[in-house]
Chains A and B, each alone.
Chain A
Amino acid sequence: MLTLLVQNRYAVTASVLFAVGFLHVLLHPDLIRKVVAFNIMDASVFLLLASRGTVAGRAAAILTDGGADPSRYVNPIPAGLVLTGIVVSVSVSAFSLALIQRVYGVYGTTDLRRLLEAMKKRGE
């Protein structure tokens, strides 16, 4: 059991981080913390991807004078996916933060429960 955990330590860490982020986004009422938690969730997936794409003893897939022998390099696709994922994650975070700012401007709070109370009070 323990060997299995150690062998899959990246996958295990990623799953734990994913669960932490997931539950936080789902359950925590504060919107800013939701954004942070969403970033943790994404980072866990990037960790899993990056760990799957690594082979010990091989270099990053950048052509230097070492020649084009593919057996010397790791698979570059996971790195590309992480990069794309980061771009997506950054844009979604930016959008969420802008939206939260707008909500704060209207209701003066970033707490989802108080937000719903404020809405009820205003008869919306």
Chain B
Amino acid sequence: MPFVWNLPFFCIFLCMIAAILLSLGPRARLAWGVSFGVAAACALASLVFLVRIARADTAFAYTMGKFPAPFGNEIKGGPLQGLFGFVFSLVMCLCLLGGRTDFFADVDEKKTGLACVMLCMVLASLFVLTYTNDIFTAYVFIEISTIAACALVMAKDSGPTLVATVRYLFLSLLGSGMFLFGLVLLYAVTGHLLMPQLSAAVAKLAAAGERRGVLALSLGLMTAGLGVKSAMFPFHRWLPDAHGSATTASSAVLSGLVVKGYAVLLILLYVRVFTLDTVRALRVSDAVFVLGFSGMILGSVRAIGETHVKRMLAWSTVAQVGYIFMGVGLGTGAGVAAACFQILAHAFAKPLLFVSAGRLSAVSGHEKQLFALRGSARRAPLAGLGFGVGALSMVGIPLFGGFAAKAGLALGSIPDGTKTAVALGVLALSSVLNALYYLPALINVWSGAPAEASRPGRDDACSAAILLLAAGVLTLGLRFGPVMDLIVRGLALV
């Protein structure tokens, strides 16, 4: 086994060790530096891993501890996991960089260290949800991710963020409860927790036509549980408050990454454990398809009515998560691949929007209302450009990542005759709706009063983050083919 195959495990371990050390309570700047360094190191390691595993074009199971399958715990690495691991850690790194100024301003200095602990735990759980081959480990890290995400929302420690955290927490707990119940039902009929063994047992049951009810119930509960946590319609109510009120870095991490971790796990469950044929046969994919496109429409409709820029972006996340679920709900390999691409595209574009919006609001006296941001892009042109790239990607203009994701979804829907019309219609409608709120917001920040007399100070960290995130969005838009090819190869090996 090549040494590089150890890297996913090292990344998980590094994040957890860093979290433990950070809880000792270092000074604010040091704590931020450590978590940034950890995210950067993980991004680098994941890149090396991705390049090697993509070249080797293989997937491997990595035994944790001394107990071999079917008793022990495993992680599984392949091209798709490598790609997610790399993008998640890179974006985490850039979110930290872009939200740096606001982070120190919004979070109480004594609590910055603890907020950094939570950032490290979020990254650790993202890695685990991507790499794990054991469904119970996945459950444990779902809970860890929930607590860490809630703590990040409340890091700002004002009244509204506390109430948003409470609502987020209790809905999330319902989600974990459903996932756990579904998991136990599955364990009761199969007797396994490791995904390959589970998959074999499920295939046997499905072939014999036994226990269909239990399988459907278990799959439905796990889907709903993960759906609540990734804000699938109609479980999305908690998201706008939580993501709209947190500090810039938290919003970017939560909207761009945390909801994706659960979606990735859902895709692993569908592809690796149940296989798409069984999911289609149990009719769960159809339900996910309907909920996905409902979320796409509703999220955008609600975003149009928002005047608070971060809440608008948060409602747009509900819509964008809908795209992911619509792709998964197509129940075909092409649909799931498009959903994976959407995960990546949104992981770059949404943090870009949040970071740019944070900077635009910083040069407008920290106002968050859209009308107060009028002309702010003239005072911070780079942030204005970043906001433009993110907005155009969300609308789905060619050249940007969001267009490629939509194109993938449209192409993926073609094999299924009945879903094609619905999918294409909803994609068209949702693009129009996206344009209805992103374009006015974009025009608003660029128009109006020219630069004020008192020019705001520079924020180099933020500029670097905006440039790199925008580069990510453009790369996904321009290198659609190779990335999609990697995803398809990865899905075959999942």
- A: residues with CB less than 8 A from B are 18, 21-22, 25-26, 31, 34, 38, 41-42, 45, 48-49, 52, 77-78, 81, 84-85, 88, 91-92, 95-96, 99-100, 102-103, 106-107, 112, 115-116, 119, 122, 124
- Per-residue contact bits, chain B 332-345, to A (CB 8 Å; 1 contact, 0 not): 00000000000000
> Known pairs A45-B177, A92-B146. 13 more at Cβ < 8 A?
A18-B181, A22-B174, A34-B170, A38-B173, A45-B181, A77-B71, A78-B187, A81-B184, A92-B147, A99-B165, A106-B159, A115-B166, A119-B163
CB neighbours (8 Å) of B178 from chain A are 22
- Per-residue contact bits, chain B 173-203, to A (CB 8 Å; 1 contact, 0 not): 1101110110010011000010000000000
Cβ-defined contact, B136 with A81, below 8 A: yes
**Whole-angstrom CA separation of A22 from B174 in the bound complex:** 7
Task: Indicate if B448 sits at the interface (CB-CB under 8 A).
Answer: no
Cβ distance A42 to chain B, nearest Cβ, rounded Å: 7
Q: Of all chain A residues, which has the CB nearest B185?
A: A48
Cβ-defined contact, B163 with A26, below 8 A: no
Task: Indicate if B162 sits at the interface (CB-CB under 8 A).
Answer: yes
Tell which of B166, B177, B188 touches A103, judged by Cβ atoms closer than 8 Å: B166
Task: Indicate if B41 sits at the interface (CB-CB under 8 A).
Answer: no
**Whole-angstrom CA separation of A102 from B156 in the bound complex:** 13
Interface centre among B147, B150, B167 (most CB of A within 10 A): B147
Cβ distance A18 to chain B, nearest Cβ, rounded Å: 6
Tell which of A25, A38, A48 touches B188, judged by Cβ atoms closer than 8 Å: A48
CB neighbours (8 Å) of A92 from chain B are 143, 146-147, 173, 176
Task: Indicate if B160 sits at the interface (CB-CB under 8 A).
Answer: yes
Cβ-defined contact, A99 with B180, below 8 A: no
Cβ-defined contact, A85 with B180, below 8 A: yes
- Per-residue contact bits, chain B 240-280, to A (CB 8 Å; 1 contact, 0 not): 00000000000000000000000000000000000000000
- Tell me the interface secondary structure of chain B in the complex: helix
Task: Indicate if B318 sits at the interface (CB-CB under 8 A).
Answer: no
Cβ-defined contact, A124 with B147, below 8 A: no
Cβ-defined contact, A45 with B160, below 8 A: no
Cβ distance A50 to chain B, nearest Cβ, rounded Å: 10
Task: Indicate if B385 sits at the interface (CB-CB under 8 A).
Answer: no
Cβ distance A5 to chain B, nearest Cβ, rounded Å: 16
Task: Indicate if B128 sits at the interface (CB-CB under 8 A).
Answer: no
CB neighbours (8 Å) of B162 from chain A are 99, 102-103, 106
Cβ-defined contact, A88 with B159, below 8 A: no
Tell which of A48, A52, A78, A124 touches B160, judged by Cβ atoms closer than 8 Å: A124
Q: List 28 A-B contacts (CB under 8 A).
A: A18-B177, A18-B181, A21-B177, A22-B177, A25-B170, A25-B173, A26-B174, A42-B180, A45-B177, A45-B180, A52-B184, A77-B71, A78-B187, A84-B136, A84-B140, A88-B140, A91-B147, A92-B176, A95-B147, A95-B169, A99-B150, A99-B166, A115-B163, A115-B166, A116-B163, A119-B160, A119-B163, A124-B159
